Amino acid sequence: MEDEKKTNFGSATVEILVCVRRVPDTSENEIQLNAAGNDIERDDLVYSVNEPDNYAVEEALQIAAKAGGNVTVVTVGSEDDEEVLRREMAMGANQGVLISDDAFIGSDGKGIATILKAFVQKGKYDLVLTGIQAEDGGAQVGGMLAALLDYPFASLVNSISVLDGKLKISREIEGGNREMSEIDMPCVLSIQTGINEPRYVGMRGIRQVASVEIPTYSASDLGVAPAAVGEAGANVKRVDYFVPALGKGAEMLQGDREEIIAKLIELMKAKGGMN
């Protein structure tokens, strides 16, 4: 189709920013309450990049490969978070940026979006991507960031094709159906998992970017008023974590493996599942 030619943003290429986060890795850790019962147990937690963010980075890399362009990954956090920037740079992102300031600690979703807005406005990005949701987050920063910038936004995006100066996207809606839209750039898209297959990153790739300098921006670098972000600016605060009292829960089958299987087969027969 003529209009689906992969191109052409005038003379420029497509500048893509991907917002990523470092989170406790739930495939490596069982998340439990701490002894005081007010937070999760953070000792010995293994952290990694929020898994949905890898799909956003992969999508950015594929767009840049087709249309020409640059991919920048950014995170709001601390020095510890540099490792996830390096991981995404090992995937192929051209540069990583750390946004870090004591004034940012305790920010809610709106605070993070406010910080990212200031960063986006320092550059010139055609496309800003986020993962659909953080493990401990609310699928909110992308939509907030777009509204703060007055950019159009789409969530749950599961395909992107580049048209001339705009994108054709689909969103995942109910029943596996896809809502097709056209969206002007610059825009913010929150990327659904499964949109692509994020490339593998080996130790060698990580080593290659180990010494690349990662620029850091503070609140004053970005011109962010400390009162608007961090704990002070947060309207939404997590008070504590808890594990809810269980409902009736499952009847746990006990015994050795053979007994358990025999019981299960009896139950399934009774429920009409075996013929």
Is 253 an interacting residue with respect to another protein (CB under 8 A)? yes
Find the shortest distance in angstroms from Cβ 135 to another protein.
5
Contacts 24+ apart (CB under 8 A), 149-152: 149/117, 149/120, 149/121, 149/186, 149/188, 151/186, 151/187, 151/188, 152/183, 152/184, 152/187, 152/188
What's the CA gap between 273 and 275, in Å, rounded? 7
Among 30, 44, 213, 256, binds another protein (CB under 8 A): 30
The answer for residues whose C-beta is within 8 angstroms of residue 210's C-beta and 6 or more apart is: 86
Binding to another protein in span 121-140, by CB under 8 A: 135-140
Cβ-based nearer residue to another protein, 61 or 185: 185
Query: In this structure, what token pair is assigned to residue 166?
Result: 């705009």
Is 2 an interacting residue with respect to another protein (CB under 8 A)? no
Query: In this structure, what token pair is assigned to residue 24?
Result: 């406790």
Query: Is 19 in contact with 141 (CB distance < 8 Å)?
Result: yes
Q: CA geometry: angle at 199 spanning 193 and 201, to 5°?
A: 120
Q: Mark 206-235 with x for binding to another protein (rule: CB under 8 A) and - for no binding.
A: -----------------------------x
Binding to another protein in span 165-184, by CB under 8 A: 168, 170-184
Among 104, 119, 125, 153, binds another protein (CB under 8 A): 153
Q: Which helix (H) or strand (E) is 130 found in, with range?
A: strand 127-131
Is 111 an interacting residue with respect to another protein (CB under 8 A)? no
Is 148 an interacting residue with respect to another protein (CB under 8 A)? yes
For another protein, which stretch binds (CB under 8 A), given 59-67, 211-219, 220-228, 264-272?
Answer: 264-272
Is 48 an interacting residue with respect to another protein (CB under 8 A)? no
Cβ-based nearer residue to another protein, 29 or 216: 29
Among 46, 65, 212, 262, binds another protein (CB under 8 A): 262
Query: Is 168 in contact with 20 (CB distance < 8 Å)?
Result: no
For another protein, which stretch binds (CB under 8 A), given 6-14, 89-97, 145-153, 205-213?
Answer: 145-153
